[in-house]
Amino acid sequence: MSIRNILKINMCNVGFYFRELKKGIMLVFLVFFFKTTNAQTLQEYIKEARENNPELKAAQNVLDVSLERVNEVGGLPNTTVGTGYFVSEPETRTGAQKVKFTAQQSIPWFGTIKARKETASTESEVNKNELEIARRKITLLVEQTYYKLYELKARQNILVEQNKLLDTYIEIALKEVENNRASAVDVLKFNIAKNNLQNEEEILKGEILTVETAMNQLLHRDGFEPLVVPDNLFIPEEEPTMILDDITYHPELMTYDHLNDLLDKREDVNTKESLPSIGLGLDYVIVEERPNISFSDNGKDIVMPTISLSVPLFSKKYKSRSKQYELQKEEVYQKREASQNNLENMMEEAINNRITARINYDTQQKNILQAKQAEKIILSAYQTTQLNFEDVLDVQQMLLDFENKKIEAIAMYFMQTAVLNYLR
């Protein structure tokens, strides 16, 4: 049985396969120019994540609570109200005392309430910055997942077109076997190459499913929804201007600045709470009239305004708080330094990686162009001499490798751009 019968392919003529081969080549190298018109834009994904992500909702709730706390700390302590009945009635000139009512309001030292409100307000600024950090991190995750998905799907498209191209080569090889210009080994080599491509396709399907699942979780969608990304991304010819000289006002660093202010405010509150608090009150005593006596003040009730001071004689706890705040400020300073170093390292790494991605992209562009020229030379020779299938396989493998590296460079460039956007 011939190779032709084994593969069950009905061949026509070599010219037909040569035309099909050229069509296949065109598809491989035009695959990136296709534009998906229904693709959801990256900004829409980011907006959806910001609206639905539970981590952001939780951070927003924390901020709302801290804003409401400003109203809480602005209030006075509870008013004390009491009453008492005289079991043994003390006698006065105007009569016997029967019942006593007492009301007292404690008032913190001057400026204490204002200091507490300022402390709560500063705490809300900390939470506001933490919300902004959470938003930026979610945005970064969405962008990087989006570009990773682009990379995988672009590689998948390349494999699909490469498979079609190999089918054309297999048909040509079969025809050449019939004409005794090639061996069955050449056909088997193409089949092995095709098997390897199909293996890579299956692996990519699993990777794409994993990334799409992660993206749906970021968007907090119910169930699984396929995601569409464009497959026409290109690195711009000219590097866009990005001002990244100073990260002083990055929310991560601003959070530590506000934490430092918060500790100062807490120390101010602690100082004022160590001072006496004032108590204003009013006592009202009901007096019973004296019998058989008539005078103007007989049975007149007693009204007595009171004032008191609550003096914190034992100040150990206030001194301890001051020491704690001092230590916490040192902790905040060290954490801020570490965070700044980390952000600066992230910036340097992202800039260098983006430069590397551009270099790799330009290199692969040149490699692809030269590989296509080599392929053209091989195919041109086919019109007059025997086609060298070994060279064809080598060139196809090189093209596949160059295309994959080009896609990786594009994805890397935009992922690092996302990091730089996070740092802005």
pLDDT value at position 183? 82
**Backbone phi, then psi, for 63, in 5-degree steps?**
-65, -45
pLDDT at 330: 97
pLDDT for 212:
93
The verdict on 138 and 148 lying in the same domain is yes
Do 353 and 399 belong together in one domain?
A: yes
* pLDDT at residue 40, rounded to an integer: 59
Answer yes or no: do 280 and 355 share one domain: no
Whether 265 contacts 344, CB under 8 Å: no
CATH code for the domain of 171 = 1.20.1600.10
Last residue of a domain, one of 284, 311, 338: 311
- Residue labelled with tokens 């299956």: 202
Q: At 153, is the secondary structure helix, strand, or coil?
A: helix
Residue 386 near residue 359 (C-beta atoms within 8 A): no
Judge whether 113 and 276 are in contact, CB under 8 Å.
Answer: no
Residues 97 and 157 in one domain: no
- The predicted pLDDT at position 413 comes to 96
Residue 388's SS3 state is coil
CA 270 to chain centre: 37
Q: Are residues 266 and 295 in the same domain?
A: no
**Does one domain contain both 164 and 122?**
yes
What is the predicted pLDDT for the residue at 378?
Answer: 82
At which residue do the structure tokens 């699942």 appear?
213
CB 115 within 8 A of CB 269: yes
92: three-class secondary structure by DSSP: strand
The rounded distance, in Å, linking the Cα atoms of 115 and 109 is 11
pLDDT of residue 2: 34
pTM above 0.85, yes or no: no
Torsions phi, psi of 9, nearest 5?
Answer: -115, 130
Instruction: Based on the fold, state whether residues 284 and 154 are members of the same structural domain.
Output: no
Per-position pLDDT tens, the chain of length 424: 333 333 333 333 334 333 443 434 333 333 333 333 334 589 999 999 999 999 999 999 999 999 999 988 888 888 999 999 888 888 777 788 889 999 999 989 899 999 999 999 999 999 999 999 999 999 999 999 999 999 999 999 999 999 998 888 888 888 888 888 778 888 898 899 999 999 999 999 999 999 999 999 999 988 777 788 887 888 988 776 665 557 888 999 999 999 999 999 999 999 998 999 999 999 999 888 888 777 778 888 889 999 988 888 888 999 999 999 999 999 999 999 999 999 999 999 999 999 999 999 999 999 999 999 998 888 787 666 667 778 888 898 999 999 999 999 999 999 999 999 999 8
**DSSP codes of every residue in 210-269:** HHHHHHHHHTT-SS-------S-----SSPPP---S--TT-HHHHHHHHHHHHHHHHHHH
Q: Are residues 294 and 200 in the same domain?
A: no
Same domain, 397 and 291: no
| 161/401 Cα distance (integer angstroms) | 14
Contact 316, 351 (CB under 8 A): no
Tell me the C-alpha to C-alpha distance, in Å, between residue 322 and each of 108, 264, 309, 326, 331. Answer: 19, 10, 23, 6, 14
Do both 298 and 385 map to the same domain? no
Residue 148 neighbours by CB under 8 Å, 6+ apart: 211, 411, 415
Tokens coding 175: 């025809």
Q: What is the pLDDT of residue 248?
A: 86
Name the residue range of residue 302's domain: 76-107+276-311
Total domains, the chain:
2
Task: Characterize 11-22 residue by residue with b for buried, 16 or more Cβ atoms within 10 angstroms of its Cβ, and e for exposed.
Answer: eeebeebeebbe
Structural tokens at position 370: 């030269």
Whether residue 282 sits in one domain with residue 271: no
Handedness of CA 160, 165, 168, 170 (dihedral sign): negative
Cβ-Cβ contacts under 8 Å for 141 (sequence gap 6 or more) = 218
- 126 token code pair: 């900390």
The per-residue pLDDT for 36 is 38
| Whether residue 161 is found in the same domain as residue 86 | no
